[in-house]
Amino acid sequence: MLSEGKLRTLNDFIEKTSKEELIWINGYISGLISTSMPKDSGAVIQKRFTILYGTDTGNSKKLAMEFNAAGKKQGAKVKVASMDTYKAEDLLQEKSLVIILSTHGDGDPPPSAKKFFDHLMSADQKYPDLEFAVLALGDTSYPMYCKAGEDVHHRLIELGATAVFPIQKCDVDYQADAANWYDLYLKSFPTEPIKTVAVQAPKASGGKKFYAGIIKTNINLNAAGSNKRTHHIEIKTIEPILYEPGDALGVMPKNNEETLEKLFAILPVDPNLNIPYKGAGHTLMDLLTNKLNICHLKESQVQKYADIVGQAIPKVRMDLLDLMRIYPMTRPAQFIEFVHSLTEMLPRLYSICSSPQVREYEIHILVGKNTFTIEEEKRFGLASDMLSSLEEGSALDFYIHRNKSFRLPAPDTDIILIGPGTGIAPMRSFIEERDAAGGSGRNWLIFGEQHFTTDFFYQTEIQQYASSGTLQQIDLAWDQKEKIYVQDKIKAKSKELYDWIKNGAHIFVSGTRSPMSEDVEKAMIEVIYAHSGKSAPESEAYWNDLKESGIYKADVY
Ligand SMILES: Cc1cc2nc3c(=O)[nH]c(=O)nc-3n(C[C@H](O)[C@H](O)[C@H](O)COP(=O)(O)OP(=O)(O)OC[C@H]3O[C@@H](n4cnc5c(N)ncnc54)[C@H](O)[C@@H]3O)c2cc1C
Ligand SMILES: Cc1cc2nc3c(=O)[nH]c(=O)nc-3n(C[C@H](O)[C@H](O)[C@H](O)COP(=O)(O)O)c2cc1C
Q: What is the pLDDT of residues 128-162, one digit of tens each?
A: 889 999 999 999 989 899 999 999 999 998 998 88
- Which residue has the least CA distance to atom 28 on ligand 2? 104
Write down the pLDDT at residue 246.
98
β-pair type (506-511, 552-556)? parallel
Ligand 2 centroid to residue 139 C-alpha, Å: 6
By percentage, how much of the chain surpasses pLDDT 90?
A: 75
Residue 538, CA distances (Å) to 50, 490, 528 in order: 25, 20, 9
Checking if the pLDDT of 188 tops 80, the result is no
By percentage, how much of the chain surpasses pLDDT 70?
A: 89
Of 29-38, 473-482, 540-549, the one with minimum mean pLDDT is 29-38
347 close to 249: Cβ distance less than 8 angstroms: no
DSSP 8-state symbol, 472: S
Place 39 in a pLDDT band, splitting at 50, 70 and 90.
Answer: very low
- Which residue has the least CA distance to atom 21 on ligand 1? 384
Number of the ligand closest to the Cα of 174: 2
More confident residue, 25 or 341: 341
Q: Is the peptide bond before 515 cis (omega within 30 degrees of 0)?
A: yes
Q: Render 481-525 in DSSP notation, one character per residue.
A: TS---HHHHHHHTHHHHHHHHHTT-EEEEEE-IIIIIHHHHHHHH
Average pLDDT in the 106-127 region?
93
Ligand 1 centroid to residue 381 C-alpha, Å: 6
Domains of the chain in sequence order: 44-192 (3.40.50.360), 208-243+347-401 (2.40.30.10), 257-339 (no CATH), 415-556 (3.40.50.80)
Ligand 1 centroid to residue 209 C-alpha, Å: 23
> Which among 232, 461, 479, 476 is positioned nearest to 368, based on CA atoms?
232
Ligand 2 centroid to residue 104 C-alpha, Å: 4
- Which ligand 2 atom is nearest residue 145's CA? 11
How confident is the model over 317-376, as pLDDT tens digits? 999 999 999 999 999 999 999 999 999 999 999 999 999 999 889 999 999 999 999 989
Ligand 1 close to Cβ of residue 381 (< 6 A): yes
Helix (H) / strand (E) containing 431: helix 424-437
What is the distance between the alpha carbons of residues 489 and 477, in angstroms, rounded to a whole number?
Answer: 7
155 close to 189: Cβ distance less than 8 angstroms: no
- Which residue has the least CA distance to atom 31 on ligand 1? 381
> Which among 21, 9, 98, 10 is positioned nearest to 53, based on CA atoms?
98
Ligand 1 close to Cβ of residue 511 (< 6 A): no
Q: How many CB atoms lie within 10 A of CB 61?
A: 23
Q: How many CB atoms lie within 10 A of CB 281?
A: 9
Q: Which residues neighbour 326 within 8 Å (Cβ) at sequence distance 6 or greater?
A: none
What is the distance between the alpha carbons of residues 250 and 213, in angstroms, rounded to a whole number?
Answer: 12
* Mutational test site, ligand 2, from 112, 142, 251, 343, max ligand atoms within 8 Å of CB: 142
Q: Which residues neighbour 75 within 8 Å (Cβ) at sequence distance 6 or greater?
A: 46, 47, 192, 194
How confident is the model over 466-476, as pLDDT tens digits? 999 999 999 99
> Which among 292, 293, 281, 424 is positioned nearest to 352, based on CA atoms?
424
What is the distance between the alpha carbons of residues 65 and 211, in angstroms, rounded to a whole number?
Answer: 32
What is the distance between the alpha carbons of residues 346 and 382, in angstroms, rounded to a whole number?
Answer: 11
Sort 532 into a burial class: Cβ within 10 Å, 0-12 / 13-18 / 19+. Answer: middle
Q: Where are the beta strands (DSSP E) in 268-412?
A: 274-277, 280-283, 348-351, 362-368, 371-374, 377-380, 395-401
- Which ligand 2 atom is nearest residue 62's CA? 26
Dihedral angle over CA of 396, 398, 403, 408, nearest 10: 50
Place 383 in a pLDDT band, splitting at 50, 70 and 90.
Answer: very high
Ligand 1 close to Cβ of residue 174 (< 6 A): no
Q: How many CB atoms lie within 10 A of CB 376?
A: 5
Ligand 1 centroid to residue 439 C-alpha, Å: 36
Q: Which residues neighbour 45 within 8 Å (Cβ) at sequence distance 6 or greater?
A: 189, 190, 191, 192
Strand partners, 277: 280
β-pair type (371-374, 377-380)? antiparallel
Q: How many CB atoms lie within 10 A of CB 301?
A: 19
Sort 48 into a burial class: Cβ within 10 Å, 0-12 / 13-18 / 19+. Answer: middle
3-state secondary structure of 197: coil
Q: Encode burial over 430-464: b for 16+ CB neighbours within 10 A, e otherwise.
A: bbbbbbeeeeebbbbbbbbbbbeebbbbbeeebee
Write down the pLDDT at residue 68.
92
CA atoms within 13 A on the CB side of 127: 25
Helix axes 518-532, 536-548, angle to 10 degrees: 120
Ligand 2 close to Cβ of residue 110 (< 6 A): yes
Average pLDDT in the 100-125 region?
93
Write down the pLDDT at residue 280.
84
3-state secondary structure of 266: helix
At 31, the amino acid letter reads G
Ligand 2 centroid to residue 138 C-alpha, Å: 5
> How high does pLDDT run on average in the chain?
89
More confident residue, 494 or 34: 494
Write down the pLDDT at residue 166.
77
Ligand 1 close to Cβ of residue 370 (< 6 A): yes
> Which among 360, 343, 149, 83 is positioned nearest to 244, based on CA atoms?
360
Helix axes 494-502, 518-532, angle to 10 degrees: 80
Count the residues in the chain.
Answer: 557
What counts of helices (H) and strands (E) characterise the chain?
A: 19, 21
- Which residue has the least CA distance to atom 5 on ligand 2? 104
Helix axes 59-73, 175-187, angle to 10 degrees: 40
Ligand 1 centroid to residue 168 C-alpha, Å: 30
At 311, the amino acid letter reads Q
Average pLDDT in the 77-106 region?
92
Average pLDDT in the 55-77 region?
91
Q: How many CB atoms lie within 10 A of CB 480?
A: 14
354 close to 363: Cβ distance less than 8 angstroms: yes
Write down the pLDDT at residue 202.
33
Write down the pLDDT at residue 198.
32
How confident is the model over 241-296, as pLDDT tens digits? 999 999 999 999 999 999 999 999 999 999 999 888 877 889 999 999 999 999 99
148 close to 107: Cβ distance less than 8 angstroms: yes
Ligand 2 close to Cβ of residue 57 (< 6 A): yes
